[in-house]
Amino acid sequence: MALKAIIYKAAVSFSDLDQNVYRDHTLTLARHPSETEERMMLRLLAFVLNAPENNDLGTLEFGKDMWEADEPALSQHDLTGLLLHWIELGQPDEKRLVRVCGRSKRVTVYSYGSSVPAWWMGLAGKFARVNNLTVWQIPVAQSQALGALAQRSMDLNVTLQDGVLFVGEGERSVEITPVRLFGAE
C-alpha cells in the first residue's frame, strides 16, 4: 500500500518591514512521504516571500516537484500561461537551472543543507551571463530549526527586517538569515 501525503494547514501573517508589505495567507500543504518537515517549511517560507501583491499577474502555486521531476517547488504563471517565476528548493543541477532560466522570466533557488558550499562552488562561475537567477543559502541550523516548527495546524508570524527573517509559532521562534550566493538585489 502506497503512503499518502500528510496535510498541513498554516495561517501565516507576513510583515516585510523593509518594504512596508503586510499580507495574510491561509495555506494547505501536502507533504509527500519522502519530504522532510524542514523542506516543507522552506516551501512555505518561499511561498510567503514570493507571493505577488495581487493576482493581476497570476497566482503563485505549489508545484509537484516531489512527484514530477521536471516540476518546480513553486511557480507563477501570468493569466496567459507565460511562466513568470520558477522557484526551486535544494541543489538543482546546472542543466536544469540553465533550462529553466531560458523558460522563465525569473528563477529563484533556496538551497539548504551542509553540502551547499560544495554544490555552489561547482556552479558559481557558470552563470555569469544569466541575469534572471537568484540563489539563496539558508544556513543548516536555521533551516533545521524552521523544520522543527512544523505542526499539522500552524499559526505563523513571519517578519522580515534588515534582511533577517523571524518566524514564530506560539511560544517558539526561529531567526533566519538567508545568504545571497548569486543574483542582483
Output the nine-digit C-alpha cell for 138: 539558508
Q: What are phi and psi of 59, to 5 degrees?
A: -105, 155
DSSP 76: E
Question: pLDDT (tens digit, 9 = 90+) per residue, 44-83?
Answer: 999 999 999 888 888 999 988 766 778 899 999 998 999 9
Q: What is the chain's mean pLDDT, rounded?
A: 93
- Report the share of the chain in percent with pLDDT over 90: 81
Residues paired with residue 74 on neighbouring β-strands, in sequence order: 62, 87
Place of cell 523558460: 103
Task: State the pLDDT confidence band at 129, using cuts at 50, 70 and 90.
Answer: confident
As a whole number, mean pLDDT of residues 32-41 equals 94
Place of cell 514530477: 68
As a whole number, mean pLDDT of residues 90-100 equals 93
Task: State the pLDDT confidence band at 181, using cuts at 50, 70 and 90.
Answer: very high
| Domains of the chain, start order | 7-177 (3.10.640.10)
Minimal CA–CA distance to 111: which of 87, 140, 136?
136
As a whole number, mean pLDDT of residues 28-45 equals 94
Distance CA 8, CA 32 (A): 11
Q: pTM for the full model?
A: 0.94
Residue 58 confidence (pLDDT) = 86
Question: pLDDT (tens digit, 9 = 90+) per residue, 130-180?
Answer: 999 999 999 999 999 999 999 999 999 999 999 999 999 999 999 999 999
Task: State the pLDDT confidence band at 2, using cuts at 50, 70 and 90.
Answer: low
